[in-house]
Structure 1
Amino acid sequence: NPNVTFLEYLNQMPEYNGKVMAFGSWDVFPYIIHEERSGVPVNAGFDLAEGDDLTDVERTVNRIQQEIRGPWGGVRLDPFTHHFAMEGLKKHRPKVMYIAYGETDDWAHGGKYDQYIWSAHQTDAYIKEIWDWVQSDPEYKDKTTLIITTDHGRGITKTSWKSHGASVPEGGEIWMMAIGPDTPASGEMKIEGQWHSAQVARTIFKLLGMEYPDPKAGEVIEDMVR
């Protein structure tokens, strides 16, 4: 990826350097985030937790990930991504963490509707677990925002849910949610106009009290900022 992500911009700043982490189920995320150039540590695909101070949970997840293989060659099952991320949050206490779950997309591509729905339900539970934990920890409580979104939609017809892209009607439609001390609790909103994923980066910087340095990024989603 030749572009600089918001994670890389943050990691270049002294106050955030070493305090940015990323976890993903798809093995392409080290290249999307450009781990080598950005310096942002990325645990994705079938990466294991590394280091001399592994926790009991990390050692257990490492072992189980090597014993349980999912149905895809380049995407691991989301429980491994989630539990590596949760341990990373508790252990390294980052200021910014990016988590990319992948099961819903891959089960849909495979036409496994029951697994697709099950994984969506499980992702909801993971998001709840993250929120409950940050609200239980004094360092993060009432100082943490979660922004939750997806990279694409699955179309608007009964047969389009297995795929996405230019050939799928409305396959580019996404949704976004935000919860945190600086976001009004407005519930589901109907807005005039259109939001775009390109607006997320500048919105995150706004929530962090900074201006986004890339002029190509979209405008702040003002409805997400109190």
Structure 2
Amino acid sequence: MAFLATSGQWSCRATSSRWLRRGLGLGLLGLMAFAPPPAKKPLRTKNIIIVVIDGPRYSETWGTVPGLIPNMATTLRPRGVFFSNFYNKGFTYTNSGHVALTTGISQPIDNFDQELPQLPSFFQLWRKATGAPATAAWVISSKDKLHILANTLHPEWKDQYQPSVDCGVSGPGTGYRADSLTLEAAKRILTQHKPRLVLINFMEPDGFAHAANYPFYLRGIARDDRYVMQLYNFLRTNSAYKNNTTLFITNDHGRHLDSIDGGYIDHGDGCDGCRHVSLLALGPDFKIGRTVADTCTLLDVPSTAAYLLGLPFGQGQGKVLEPMLKRR
């Protein structure tokens, strides 16, 4: 099954040269400014998987629990840390939200697939730092357009150290695929290649909302809740990932409030419906059964991921999510 969700898309080619001028000059000092003190004992995280459920509104997910997300709300939440005030404070579109999660930078970007991120992703930074092969890092996405996350416009990084990509039906320009197929692709890739750094995009809530199909929008949320549970069970029973894997479950953006023209069908402004998203984090270095009320943002995810892997990430505008770390 494959389908396209094209309504409500946004195109913005207005990017600023200041990102290129900034480059990567912050280096290790930038990381140290936001990082907590070194752990007394070594961190246990060896693998990081970021799951992005594309475009559900908080009011249809964590705002009414267990509701459509019983697996995350009742089974997984007690095993990890939930951030109740988690936001996209930048541009509330798919590509911009995902770029924030992979580069640590909030930037406007074309929302189709005609523009690459200005700075390299932490996939690229990690591959260069470790010498890991392309099969050790993956972008696995229901949306074909998210192949852009593998590369950058930065002249020192363009076409270098890219992660492997499995996006859409069969690559760029082939359309969106069902999330069930993306889950199967993810499990196949995890089994075959045992990557250490992975981003997975599930798109059905966003796709069906843009198609103005409210029942299927809700169905997409419920299905993705089940797919996240299946992925979690896979990770905790697979010898390569058991007890050493951090799982972030978040969103790229929400949707308009009902009081805004179009309501759930679209997104892209600064209303609370578009900005208020969620983060559930599970991993061997995190506290268990904790809810964090501090306001945090998408930009904090890559900064935290980099910290867990010991990767300098000076370009990141976020902070390490210290409240959820164990005191080791």
Coarse TM-score class (shorter-chain normalised): 0.7 to 0.9
SS at match of 2:323: helix
Aligned to 2:165: 42
> In the alignment, which of 109, 125, 129 is matched to residue 226 of structure 2?
125
How do 1:169-208 and structure 2 match up within 5 A? 169-191=272-294, 194-208=295-309
Which among 113, 137, 145 is matched to residue 28 of structure 1? Answer: 145
State the alpha-carbon separation in 2 of the partners of residues 38 and 114 from structure 1.
41
Give the structure, 1 or 2, with the largest relative contact order (CA under 8 Å, sep 6 or more): 2
Identity of aligned residues (%): 24
Question: Which stretches in structure 1 are left out of the alignment for 5+ residues?
Answer: 49-72
Provide the residue aligned with 2:264 in structure 1.
161
Map 1:1-226 → 2, pairs under 5 A: 1=116, 2-18=118-134, 19-34=136-151, 36-47=159-170, 74-157=175-258, 160-166=263-269, 168-191=271-294, 194-208=295-309, 210-226=310-326
Shift in Å, 1:211? 4.0
| In 1, Cα distance between equivalents of 2:291 and 2:219 | 23
Alignment-derived partner of residue 72 in structure 2: none
Q: State the superposition RMSD in angstroms.
A: 2.2
Contact 2:183/2:231 (CA < 8 Å) preserved in 1?
Answer: no
Which is further off, 148-157 or 212-221?
Answer: 212-221
Select the structure that is richer in strand.
2
* Conserved? CA contact 2:144–2:175, under 8 Å: yes
Change in 2 beyond 3 A, CA 1:160/1:224 = farther
- Displacement of 1:190: 2.2
Question: Kindly tell me: are residues 214 and 47 of structure 1, through their superposed partners in 2, closer, same or farther at Cα, counting changes over 3 Å?
Answer: farther
8 Å Cα contact 2:142-2:179 kept in structure 1: yes
TM-score by length of 2: 0.56
Q: What CA deviation, in whole Å up to 9, does each residue of 1:43-100 have, x standing for no partner?
A: 101227xxxxxxxxxxxxxxxxxxxxxxxx7322112211111100011111111101
Code of the residue aligned with 1:3 in structure 2: it is: L
TM-score normalised according to structure 1 size: 0.80
CA distance in 2, matches of 1:6, 1:186: 28
Determine if contact 1:107/1:113 at 8 Å carries over to the other structure: yes
What is the CA–CA distance in structure 1 between the aligned matches of 2:139 and 2:185, rounded to whole Å?
10
Structure 1 residue matching 2:258: 3-state secondary structure: coil
* Equivalent residues of 1:107, 1:116 under 8 A apart: yes
Provide the rounded CA distance (Å) in 2 between the counterparts of 1:169 and 1:160: 12
- In the TM superposition, what is the alpha-carbon distance from 1:127 to its structure 2 partner? 1.1
Shift of 1:161: 1.5
Post-superposition offset of 1:187: 4.0
